[in-house]
């Protein structure tokens, strides 16, 4: 039997369907589905899907106590491999016993190679004969590798006609990354948590790539805070015109002195004369094929979908066979792609018919800078009606299709016009821009710029002023915050993370409360963590070190370095990093504590604001998280409260007592009444909490929660038949509660 192992059940099912022509039957072992059929030669074939990684690196027993383990020992610990899903491991061992040939058909990248190798080692353990060449028809290996970039019939058939071998260097590069991330993450997270005495669920997470990424956000925030607004003035004038009056700007962009703006205003007199009209055509070239970075960045800026969600959706679409593999650096379509066929089937769909003109001439796609041979750029593998998809999946599929069609489309031509008008001693100008030919923006509609039309003007034309000219007071703005889309690009430029991990790393910064909002704003804790690193452990704050490691992993993949060598270097670096932290732990802790303390301040109190109450220095009274001294319970209270002043603010709000809470918004963007928080439970998904009970955002949640609870109660009621006498026993009886109380009192006296 030939056994085909894929990364997920979904791909196992699809590959079985394609290769068997639909005749495969399914069965299960250890709850893991597999698919079997007999091919044209009478040979049995079977596919089985993993659940991603089946093994992961872990510390051996004895290193789990944070306080007792010496971190230098932890750094040198010999890592072991632990099954991440025992059923899957049992299942593949079981099916491997019956196999005499094996095809690894996991995803085609470093991670996929490693997942394949992990599964292979388990299967060889169950059936060592798979590792020998003996008895095979041509003396070749019994273990093969299928590499494919899309889950379509043609691509799968091609891959199985061109079977390859597993690449150990590629798998080892993936394994080195796993080991290094575990060692760095565990050591530094423990180091910082020990230094700041934060344990249990309150630990402070630190990561090799995570910390320099946080640094990019914090550095920008610091620039914003250091920014001193500088005042400037702008002068405008409105002129009458038969087509309607229009606004113009003084030829001086910004007046840095008020007096100069005033005198320019005084020198403006009616009527004005059009001095010159110039028009220029601009050509904007169509975009290049999508790699992962450009795709996630586009999904974020054009669709408002976060990079992490965009990747998840793209993976779903890949699994459905609708788009090609979404983790790719390549920006040049390989010659093997059936481009003409794809374009003609896509433009037959009504939504994409705007691009049907493409078929009138030969297709010539744009090319990006990077060309690799592993995967093609992201492209739609199948023409489907977007109406068949739902919600964000539909929007992401459309984005991929529109971008794909755009890469074959003509440029967008716009015409911009500038007219200069002399009025008294001063000159004003007006600028307009219209799309002459939308070109690629006809299909890639996101790129289409809105027309800014100006009235028809001719040289020498005389125009009366419409009312008085006016001056606007303005001030220089700080640099803007980094959007998630831009952050992904900056990470790529600096070699931080990989196409597979970047979106996930940003999500972690949110989950740990180091950043909040969109675009991400660093919390005070986030800023403090970064500042502490920059001061005491500079290697962790800058991208260089982690970029060096990435380069070394590339060398493993290329067979130029060994996994042990790279992991060993990394352990050396960790020893010195930990020593640095250890020496300055007291100072480091102070910086971090101060930041965490500031994060308890949530935002200005609206009640005080409306009553005109402020602090003595005139700054607003702030709502903050307070821990009650007696009960130890936390709640939100106004900083304007005074014990001896009955007139002072007594605003309080309850908080959930379990899990971490982070500031999400100083003032809720839904109700504009109170701060909004993010609650990260110990287990499960984070949720948003508006302190204002009447907020619409909370009604929706309350409704959903009530529905969930009702459904749960109904299910429980179904599972539990009523007692014969009709009494309901779902809630603990008073007797139960009394017993518990008695037990607790007894335990307390013992202790
Ligand atoms: Zn107040
Ligand atoms: Zn609200």
**Each residue's pLDDT tens digit, 286-326:** 999 999 999 999 999 899 998 889 999 999 999 889 999 99
Q: What is the pLDDT of residue 429?
A: 97
Expressed in angstroms and rounded, the spacing between residue 610 Cα and the centre of ligand 1 is: 9
Mean pLDDT of the chain: 88
Q: What is the pLDDT of residue 726?
A: 37
Expressed in angstroms and rounded, the spacing between residue 640 Cα and the centre of ligand 2 is: 21
Q: What is the pLDDT of residue 747?
A: 54
Q: What is the pLDDT of residue 345?
A: 94
Judge whether residue 127 has pLDDT over 60: yes
Expressed in angstroms and rounded, the spacing between residue 683 Cα and the centre of ligand 2 is: 24
Expressed in angstroms and rounded, the spacing between residue 631 Cα and the centre of ligand 1 is: 23
Instruction: Give the rounded percent of residues in the chain with a pLDDT score beyond 90.
Output: 54
- How remote is the C-alpha of 502 from its chain's centroid? 7
**Which ligand has an atom closest to residue 642 CA?**
1
Expressed in angstroms and rounded, the spacing between residue 640 Cα and the centre of ligand 1 is: 5
Rounded mean pLDDT of 443-460?
Answer: 91
Expressed in angstroms and rounded, the spacing between residue 98 Cα and the centre of ligand 2 is: 60
Which residues contact residue 190 at a Cβ distance below 8 angstroms, ignoring those fewer than 6 apart? 66, 69, 71, 74
**Which ligand has an atom closest to residue 653 CA?**
1
Expressed in angstroms and rounded, the spacing between residue 174 Cα and the centre of ligand 2 is: 44
Q: What is the pLDDT of residue 664?
A: 83
Confidence of residue 492 (pLDDT cuts 50, 70, 90): confident
**Which ligand has an atom closest to residue 608 CA?**
1
- Among 272-281, 485-494, 541-550, which is the least confidently predicted range? 541-550
Judge whether residue 563 has pLDDT over 70: yes
Expressed in angstroms and rounded, the spacing between residue 659 Cα and the centre of ligand 2 is: 21
Confidence of residue 448 (pLDDT cuts 50, 70, 90): confident
Using CA atoms, how far apart are residues 613 and 610, in angstroms rounded to an integer?
8
How many H helices and E strands in the chain? 22, 24
**Which ligand has an atom closest to residue 670 CA?**
2
Expressed in angstroms and rounded, the spacing between residue 526 Cα and the centre of ligand 1 is: 27
Q: Which of 290, 318, 325, 516 is catalytic?
A: 325
Expressed in angstroms and rounded, the spacing between residue 671 Cα and the centre of ligand 1 is: 17
**Which ligand has an atom closest to residue 620 CA?**
1
Expressed in angstroms and rounded, the spacing between residue 666 Cα and the centre of ligand 2 is: 10
Judge whether residue 746 has pLDDT over 60: no
Expressed in angstroms and rounded, the spacing between residue 597 Cα and the centre of ligand 1 is: 19
Tokens of 298: 């586009």
Using CA atoms, how far apart are residues 492 and 216, in angstroms rounded to an integer?
12
**Which ligand has an atom closest to residue 603 CA?**
1
Q: What is the pLDDT of residue 547?
A: 74
Using CA atoms, how far apart are residues 572 and 577, in angstroms rounded to an integer?
9
DSSP 258: H
Confidence of residue 117 (pLDDT cuts 50, 70, 90): very high
**Which ligand has an atom closest to residue 674 CA?**
2
For the stretch 36-56, pLDDT in tens is 999 988 899 999 999 888 888
**Of residues 417 and 538, more confidently modeled:** 417
**Which ligand has an atom closest to residue 677 CA?**
2
Q: What is the pLDDT of residue 723?
A: 43
Q: What is the pLDDT of residue 546?
A: 74
Expressed in angstroms and rounded, the spacing between residue 612 Cα and the centre of ligand 1 is: 10
What does pTM read for this prediction? 0.74
Expressed in angstroms and rounded, the spacing between residue 248 Cα and the centre of ligand 1 is: 46
Expressed in angstroms and rounded, the spacing between residue 623 Cα and the centre of ligand 2 is: 15
**Which ligand has an atom closest to residue 652 CA?**
1
Expressed in angstroms and rounded, the spacing between residue 688 Cα and the centre of ligand 2 is: 10
- Among 164-173, 252-261, 556-565, 700-709, which is the least confidently predicted range? 700-709
Judge whether residue 577 has pLDDT over 70: yes
Rounded mean pLDDT of 580-605?
Answer: 89
Using CA atoms, how far apart are residues 436 and 635, in angstroms rounded to an integer?
60
Task: Map tokens 């690449």 to a residue.
Answer: 167
Using CA atoms, how far apart are residues 602 and 653, in angstroms rounded to an integer?
12
Expressed in angstroms and rounded, the spacing between residue 679 Cα and the centre of ligand 2 is: 15
Which residues contact residue 651 at a Cβ distance below 8 angstroms, ignoring those fewer than 6 apart? 605, 607, 608, 623, 637, 638, 641
3-class SS of residue 673: coil
Burial 387-406 (b: 16+ CB within 10 A, else e): eebeebbbbbbbbbbbbbbb
Count the Cβ atoms, other than its own, within 10 Å of residue 324.
Answer: 26
Expressed in angstroms and rounded, the spacing between residue 607 Cα and the centre of ligand 1 is: 5
Report the candidate in 257, 269, 264 with the shortest Cα–Cα distance to residue 235.
264
Judge whether residue 226 has pLDDT over 90: yes
Q: What is the pLDDT of residue 240?
A: 95
**Of residues 177 and 395, more confidently modeled:** 395
Expressed in angstroms and rounded, the spacing between residue 698 Cα and the centre of ligand 2 is: 7
Expressed in angstroms and rounded, the spacing between residue 641 Cα and the centre of ligand 1 is: 7
For the stretch 689-741, pLDDT in tens is 999 988 988 887 788 878 888 888 887 776 655 444 433 333 333 444 444 44
Count the Cβ atoms, other than its own, within 10 Å of residue 516.
Answer: 21
**Of residues 345 and 371, more confidently modeled:** 345
Rounded mean pLDDT of 403-432?
Answer: 96
Confidence of residue 686 (pLDDT cuts 50, 70, 90): confident
Q: What is the pLDDT of residue 265?
A: 96
**Which ligand has an atom closest to residue 610 CA?**
1
| 440 belongs to the catalytic site | no
DSSP 356: G
- Among 226-230, 498-502, 507-511, 532-536, which is the least confidently predicted range? 498-502
**Which ligand has an atom closest to residue 691 CA?**
2
Report the candidate in 464, 491, 478, 295 with the shortest Cα–Cα distance to residue 396.
295
Confidence of residue 512 (pLDDT cuts 50, 70, 90): confident
Q: What is the pLDDT of residue 194?
A: 85
Asked whether the beta carbons of 443 and 355 are under 8 A apart, the reply is yes
Helices 585-598/563-583 angle, 10° precision: 80
Q: What is the pLDDT of residue 628?
A: 84
């Amino acid at each position: 039997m030939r056994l085909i192992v894929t990364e997920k059940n979904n791909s196992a099912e699809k590959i079985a369907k394609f290769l068997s022509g639909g005749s495969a039957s399914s069965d299960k072992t250890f709850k893991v589905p597999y698919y079997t059929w007999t091919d044209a030669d009478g040979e049995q074939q079977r596919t089985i899907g993993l659940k991603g990684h089946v093994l992961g690196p872990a510390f051996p027993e004895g290193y789990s106590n944070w306080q007792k383990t010496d971190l230098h020992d932890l750094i040198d610990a010999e890592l072991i491999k632990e099954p991440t899903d025992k059923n899957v491991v049992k299942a593949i061992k079981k099916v491997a016993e019956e196999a005499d040939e094996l095809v690894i058909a996991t995803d085609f990248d470093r991670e996929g190679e490693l997942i394949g190798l992990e599964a292979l080692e388990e299967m060889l353990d169950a059936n060592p004969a798979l590792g020998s060449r003996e008895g095979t028809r041509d003396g070749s290996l019994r273990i093969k590798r299928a590499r494919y970039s899309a889950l379509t019939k043609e691509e799968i058939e091609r891959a199985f006609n061109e079977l390859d071998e597993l690449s150990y260097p590629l798998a080892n590069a993936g394994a080195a990354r796993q080991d290094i991330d575990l060692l760095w993450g565990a050591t530094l997270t423990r180091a910082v948590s020990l230094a700041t005495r934060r344990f249990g669920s309150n630990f402070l997470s630190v990561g090799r790539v995570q910390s320099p990424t946080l640094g990019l956000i914090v550095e920008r925030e610091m620039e914003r805070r250091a920014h001193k607004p500088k005042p400037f003035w702008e002068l405008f004038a409105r002129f009458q015109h038969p087509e309607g009056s229009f606004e113009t700007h003084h030829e001086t962009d910004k007046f840095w002195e008020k007096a100069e703006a005033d005198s320019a205003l005084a020198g403006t007199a009616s009527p004005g004369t059009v001095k010159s009209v110039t028009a220029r055509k601009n050509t904007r070239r169509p975009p290049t094929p999508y790699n992962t970075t450009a795709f996630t960045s586009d999904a974020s800026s054009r669709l408002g979908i976060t990079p992490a969600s965009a990747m998840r959706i793209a993976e779903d679409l890949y699994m459905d066979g609708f788009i090609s593999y979404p983790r790719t650096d390549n920006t040049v379509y390989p010659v093997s792609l059936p481009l003409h066929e794809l374009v003609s089937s896509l433009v037959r769909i009504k939504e994409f018919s705007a691009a049907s003109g493409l078929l009138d001439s030969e297709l010539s796609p744009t090319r990006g800078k990077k060309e690799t041979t592993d995967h093609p750029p992201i492209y739609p593998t199948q023409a489907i009606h977007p109406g068949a998809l739902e919600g964000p999946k539909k929007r992401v599929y459309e984005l991929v299709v529109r971008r794909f069609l755009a890469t074959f489309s003509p440029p967008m031509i716009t015409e911009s016009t500038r007219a200069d008008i002399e009025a008294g001693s001063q000159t004003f100008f007006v600028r307009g821009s219209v799309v002459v030919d939308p070109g690629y923006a006809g299909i890639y509609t996101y790129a289409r710029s809105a027309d800014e039309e100006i009235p028809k003007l001719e040289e020498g034309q005389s125009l009366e002023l419409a009312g008085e000219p006016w001056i606007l007071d303005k001030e220089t703005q700080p640099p803007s915050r980094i959007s998630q889309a831009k952050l992904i690009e900056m990470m790529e430029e600096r070699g931080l993370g990989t196409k597979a991990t970047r979106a996930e790393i940003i999500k972690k910064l949110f989950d740990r409360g180091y950043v909040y909002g969109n675009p991400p704003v660093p919390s005070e804790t986030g800023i403090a963590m970064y500042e502490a690193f920059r001061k005491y452990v500079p290697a962790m704050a800058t991208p260089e070190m982690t970029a060096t490691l990435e380069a070394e992993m590339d060398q493993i993949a290329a067979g130029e370095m060994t996994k042990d060598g790279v992991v060993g270097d990394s352990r050396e670096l960790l020893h010195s990093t930990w020593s640095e932290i250890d020496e300055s732990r007291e100072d480091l802790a102070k910086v971090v504590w101060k930041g965490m303390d500031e994060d308890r301040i949530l935002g200005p109190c609206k009640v005080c604001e409306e009553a005109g109450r402020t602090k003595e220095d005139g700054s607003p009274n702030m709502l903050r998280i307070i821990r009650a001294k007696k009960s130890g319970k936390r709640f939100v209270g106004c900083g304007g409260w005074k014990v001896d002043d009955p007139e002072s603010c007594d605003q309080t709000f309850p908080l959930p007592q379990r899990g971490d809470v982070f500031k999400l918004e100083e003032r809720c963007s839904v109700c504009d009444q109170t701060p909004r928080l993010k609650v990260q439970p110990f287990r499960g998904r984070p949720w948003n909490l508006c302190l204002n009970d009447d907020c619409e955002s909370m009604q929706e949640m309350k409704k959903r929660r009530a529905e969930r609870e009702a459904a749960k109660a109904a299910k429980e009621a179904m599972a539990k038949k009523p007692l014969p006498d009709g009494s309901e026993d779902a809630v603990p009886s008073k007797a139960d509660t009394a017993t518990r109380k008695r037990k607790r009192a007894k335990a307390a006296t013992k202790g």
